[in-house]
Amino acid sequence: MKSHINARNVIVALVALGLTLLPAYSALTGNIFILTLFTRIVIFALAAASLNLIMGYGGMMSFGHAAYLGIGGYAVGILAHEGIGSGFIQWPVALALSALYALVIGALSLRTRGVYFIMITLAFAQMAYYIASGLSRYGGDDGLTIYKRSTFGGLIDLSNRVQFYYLCLFCLFGGVYLIWRIVNSRFGMVVQGVRSNEQRMQAIGFHANRYRLVCFVISGTICGLAGALLANNTDFISPAGMYWTRSGELMVMVVFGGMGSLFGPVLGTIVFLLLEEILSQFTEYWALIMGPLLLLIVLFARGGIMGLLGRLSRG
Amino acid sequence: MADPLLRVENLVRSFGGIKATDNLSLDVVPGELHAIIGPNGAGKTTLISQLTGQLMPNSGTIHFAGREITRLPPYQRSRLGLARSFQITCLLPDFTAADNVALAAQAHDGHSFRFWGSARKERHLRDAAQAALARVGLARRAEVLVSELSHGEQRELELAVALATKPQLLLLDEPMAGLGVTESARMVALLKELRKEVTIVLVEHDMEAVFALADRITVLVYGCVIASGDPDAIRNNEEVRRAYLGDQHVVVSHG
């Protein structure tokens, strides 16, 4: 047996522990800001993990993942606006709509490969963005304020910062665990096989696109959940949150952390959003620093942070 | 003669003005090793691609095990028991040898919409993979990444992957391509064993191997069958000699 104690796994475990204990730190120091910041980070980490499932494991470079954040968010926002405040209705609707969108977009996009796939997923996401902008009843361009967070019949209070944080963290860990099971399952092996060599997979008897499509839908559904969480976190939903730059940020988070590594997107999101937070205190041109950093990672650390840690582990 | 396992009738495939497959008909009976030879550009790979479904013919039909498969996509042909190896090695480079073969076994073991259990822990898939690897002499290389296998080992792995799909018919597209002398000899010995279990269509440049292995040989030139028969008949066929002018002594002297 290979030893599981190495630099990479230790750091992953420490980060997971740190995320779990964060509310205690926040309570002890009275630092509420850090809890707010990390709630956002955890939600985006879930979105990045879902993108990693198709991008890292499936080899499908979707440039339209922000659409699911929007769909999940609008499902919550619109239902709340129409007086349906129960999360037991809002959230299943958010997931179902995300899955449906993924099914339709996937069925059309997966006929293409490479750059065309990137462009077509981008185009559909932009269509979703403009549709959201056109929803004049729900604020159009200005967005929609959500006056009341989803209710779960007294089970959990989403307005309570700590409870909401733990709900988000539960979703993140649950999502990562689910993805871990999936990538090691029969299904996951097929999806990764298709990424590696589609022709070979066809020749041994797999209908490649069927598996890709299901993977695409799973990913979109998980990201829809992140969207529902995000809308509750900001108490607000607007088309800006599903603009193509948001999809780009999600891709950067995945690449930062390491494509095709289970926990990579979580680390990538933490680093990306912390950097954004810190750098933007010094300059509004923080992207000028983030850009070259991304360039360095792509050029010199192909596997992202997880890749670097892996090299460290091997000594 | 037994009912053919594979029957190709009047197959035509052209690329622009060139007929790469020109009204080609061919039978493969169960149990035989049927070699297809021909000079470069005779349309051998084009034929194989149509048999496996990578390429659709313009006209003509292909029947396999009594069923018409002319328009079936590759994955369905594989399900029916038609397996192939590729002329240019076509494996999953970032997977281990065992994973490559286990996936082939998995493809023929029900659907793969199973999301929870670990595929690498499914005993019968790993056993099937190990058995196929042992068959081609790669048992000890099971956990090596494909990208780290030698070219010769990759050729053998191609064969193991095809075997793991439990085929009725094995289409081998130049399995000897790029192999050294000893590796070639090993491959010939391996094919001699395999032919006892499975019907084989062998496309090969190595004449020595073809004449040592084949029950029947079909000779293609410019997409047409110019001769088909047992090795002796082919060796003495005037038209074949002419087509192979450059290689004439090879055809005549070995066997």
Nearest residue to B229 via CA among B218, B241, B213, B243: B218
Select the residue of B90, B112, B122 nearest A199 (Cβ to Cβ).
Answer: B90
Position B255 scores a pLDDT of 36
For residues A160 and A162, give the distance between their C-alpha atoms in angstroms, rounded to a whole number: 6
CATH number of the domain that A222 lies in? 1.10.3470
User: Spelled out in words, what is the top-level CATH class assigned to the domain B1-81+167-255?
Assistant: alpha beta
Q: How far is A112 from chain B (nearest CA, A)?
A: 17
Among residues A230, A168, A174, the alpha carbon closest in space to that of A23 is found at A168
User: What number is the average pLDDT over the span A195-206?
Assistant: 96
Mean pLDDT for A258-268 is 95
Residue B212 CB contacts under 8 Å (≥ 6 apart), including other chains: B188, B254, B255
Angle, vertex CA A225, rays to CA A290 and CA A175, nearest 5: 80
Contacts of B139 (CB under 8 A, 6+ apart): B130, B133
The closest of B201, B199, B221 to B210, measured between CA atoms, is: B201
Q: Do A189 and B106 touch (CB under 8 A)?
A: yes
Identify the contact set of chain B against chain A, taking CB-CB distances under 8 A. Answer: 52, 54, 73-75, 78-79, 83-84, 86, 90-95, 99, 102-104, 106-108, 112-120, 122, 161, 164-165
Distance CA(A43)–CA(A16), nearest Å, equals: 14
CA nearest neighbour of A172 among A269, A257, A29, A310: A269
Evaluate whether A257 touches A264 at the Cβ level (below 8 Å).
yes
pLDDT tens per residue across span B154-203 = 999 999 999 999 999 999 999 998 899 999 999 999 999 999 999 999 99
**Residue A2, domain member (yes or no):** no
Residues of chain A contacting residue B112, judged by C-beta atoms under 8 Å apart: 186-187, 189-190, 206, 211
Question: Residue A227 domain-assigned?
Answer: yes
Closest by CA to A53, choosing from A204, A240, A142, A185, is A185
Per-residue pLDDT band at A301 (split at 50, 70, 90): confident
Question: Is A1 domain-assigned?
Answer: no
B4: which DSSP letter? P
Q: In a mutagenesis test of the B interface, which of A200, A212, A213, A259 is the best target, namely the one with the most B β-carbons within 10 Å?
A: A200
Sort A263 into a burial class: Cβ within 10 Å, 0-12 / 13-18 / 19+. buried
CA distance A93 to A153: 17
Cα–Cα distance, B126 to B74 (Å, whole number): 24
Q: What is the dihedral of CA A227, A251, A277, A179, to 10 degrees?
A: 60
The answer to whether residue A222 neighbours chain B at the CB level (below 8 Å) is no
A127 inside domain: yes
Does A193 sit within 8 Å of B95, measured CB to CB? Answer: yes
Closest-CA distance of chain A to residue B23, Å: 25
Tens-of-pLDDT digits for all 255 residues of chain B? Answer: 568 999 999 999 999 989 999 999 999 999 999 999 988 888 998 999 999 999 999 999 999 999 999 999 999 999 999 999 998 899 999 999 999 999 999 999 999 999 999 999 999 999 999 999 999 999 999 999 999 999 999 999 999 999 999 999 999 999 998 899 999 999 999 999 999 999 999 999 888 889 999 999 999 999 999 999 999 999 888 888 887 755 544 554 443
Chain A positions touching B94 (Cβ under 8 A) are: 196
Q: What is the pLDDT of residues B90-115, one digit of tens each?
A: 999 999 999 999 999 999 999 999 99
Structure tokens at B189: 């010995």
Nearest to A185 among B102, B114, B165 (CB): B114
Report CB contact under 8 Å: B75, A202: yes
Query: Taking CA atoms, what residue in A is nearest to B117?
Result: A185
Dig out the tokens for A28 from the structure: 């002890």
CB B187 within 8 A of CB B156: yes
- Asked if A53 and A223 count as a contact pair (C-beta separation under 8 A), the reply is no
Where in chain B are all domains bearing CATH 3.40.50.300?
A: 1-81+167-255
Chain A closest-CA separation from residue B87 CA (Å): 12
* CA atoms of A49 and A257, how far apart (whole Å): 10
SS3 call for B225: strand
| Domain interval for residue A73 | 7-314
Predicted pLDDT at B245: 55
Indicate the number of domains in chain A: 1
SS3 at position B13: strand
Which chain A positions have a beta carbon within 8 Å of B86's beta carbon?
200, 203
